[in-house]
Every structure is written in C-alpha cells, then in structure tokens.
Amino acid sequence: MKKALFPVIIIMTAGMMSCSLFKSQPEAATNAAADTEVVEVTTKERSPSNPDTADPIFVIVEESPRFPGGEEARIAYMVENTTYPEEPLKKQIEGVVYVSFVVEKDGSISDVKVLRGIGEACDKEAVRVVQNMPRWEPGRHRGKPVRVRFTMPIRFAISE
C-alpha cells in the first residue's frame, strides 16, 4: 500500500498570534506604544551570525514579518520544499517540530533553531527548509524595519 507523504504547516504561529493580538486591540496598542518596555518586548541577545549587533530582537511589533506572497505562499513553499526523511518515515514517526528564527531588517533569515523536535532527521529537515526560505518582508515597528523572532510549527504527518 502506497502512502502519500507531505508535511502540514500549522498556519497560526506563536509569533504571529502575539502580533495578531496586538493588532486586534488598537486601544491596548496605543497605550503599549507609549511604554517602550511593553511594546518592545525584546531579548538583548545577539545574532550568532553577527554577535556585535546592537539591534534588539523584537517579539511583538506593529507590523509582523511576512513571507513573500502571504500565508498561502508560505504554506505552499513548505509543502513543496519539505521532504519527509526516510528513517522517520520507516519508523512512522510523526509530530510537530517547532522552529524559531529571526527575520532580519533586510528580510533574511538567521538564528534558526529547533525549540522542540521529534527526532534528529525531522528536526534537521525543518531547519534546512527554514534556512532556505526566500527573504521575507521585514517586521516594522514605529515605521522602521526591525529584527523579529518568529516561531513556526512544522507538522510531519504520514497520510494514507
């Protein structure tokens, strides 16, 4: 019996939920904008690829980073470019890999890491696909492009 294989992308991500929540509450956003510590929820971490950078990494921004072409294009990209690794397929391993990455000011992707995985092969595949994504439209805060941490769950599922 042949099985059709494809990864399924969960549309709502943790990073997007915070940004959507921020956008859906304009009064809270206005009040939060006045308080830098609330809106600019950042980590003072440095990018591993550029440890000298002083730019903070935002978690909540006024405009979320966007994959070129929108959510449907992102899902299509993930489905077309993700290959179910052979070993997990043989063992019928399924699950969700949570990948975190930073969308830089120029839209490039950096600091890709697995937050929660399901096994080395699927984790590596999820990281590979994210690292090879095209440039995103960067997130913006107060009218300027900023670095934004983004979390994306990638579901590996075997369907018959």
Element (H, E) at 145: strand 144-159
- Cα separation, 50 vs 66, in Å, equals 23
- CA proximity to 139, closest of 53, 41, 48, 44: 41
List average pLDDT for each run of 10 residues in the chain, which is 160 residues long.
43 34 31 34 46 80 97 97 96 97 98 97 98 98 97 91
Q: What is the pLDDT of residue 95?
A: 97
User: Quick one: pLDDT at residue 159?
Assistant: 84
pLDDT at 25: 29
Q: Where are the alpha helices (H) located in the chain, listed in sequence order? A: 14-24, 26-34, 36-39, 71-81, 86-90, 120-131
Instruction: Determine the length of the chain.
Output: 160
Residue 2's beta-bridge partner residues? none
Domains and CATH numbers, the chain: 4-159 (3.30.2420.10)
Residue 50: per-residue pLDDT: 53
pLDDT attached to residue 51: 53
